[in-house]
Structures are given as C-alpha cells and as structure tokens.
Amino acid sequence: MPLDYSALLNRMDGDSDLCCELLTSFQKDMSMYIRNIQNYIKKNDIEKIISDAHALKSSSSAVDACQINTLSYQIECEARQNNTEVLHQLGQELELACENFTAACEQNKHTGE
C-alpha cells in the first residue's frame, strides 16, 4: 500500500486540509531524497545513502507512506552492510514506490479518501 490515508487522517483528527498540506510537503522532500539517494548509490557514497535513507524513512513514516518507509529502511540496512548490488535494485524499487505514492495522492485528491 503506497499510502494509508485512513491512518493519516485518523492521526490528524479528521483534518483533511492538514493531511493535504503534509502530503504536499512530503512529496517535495521525497523528490529531493530520491534524487540524492540515486546519486549517492551511483557514487557509492555509503554514509550519505544511510543519512538520506534514514531521513526519508522518518518522514515517510509521518505521512503513512508505507512502501517508501519499508524501502527506505531496507536501503539504510543494506548500505550499512555495504551491499552495493542490492542498493541499485532497491533504488529502482524506491523510485517506483514514489511514483505509486504520487498516484495514490492524486487519486485521494479526487476521491477524498
């Protein structure tokens, strides 16, 4: 599930405007982190991969972006193990998860759920 909007809405006491603001802000940050993580993977900059994956993991948790959260955690763990082959695959999966998240946000705007 790319986005658990019900959980987010529940944590925000039903304030859909606040949810929208949080999701919009996260999407901007998400794009930056994805670009950075992909660049760091190409450069094999393990410390920066760990740092940005950790930050993305934390922020994705705050908005119930489930797939992104799981993949960010996996990237952080694999980077700590210096498993560069797996990092390339996980980076691609993370990009797809972000596309799915963006689509879920757009669908949510139209359906209100």
Asked if pLDDT for residue 9 goes beyond 60, the answer is yes
pLDDT of residue 33: 96
- pLDDT single digits (tens) 63-89: 999 999 999 999 999 999 999 989 999
State yes or no: pLDDT of 112 exceeds 60: no
Q: What's the one-letter identity of residue 98?
A: C
Residue 108 — very low, low, confident or very high, per pLDDT cuts 50/70/90? confident
Domain boundaries, the chain: 16-111
Neighbours of 44 (CB within 10 A): 12
Q: Residue 40 phi/psi, 5° resolution?
A: -65, -35
Per-residue DSSP letter, 112 = -
Please give the class, per CATH, of domain 16-111.
mainly alpha
pTM (2 d.p.): 0.90
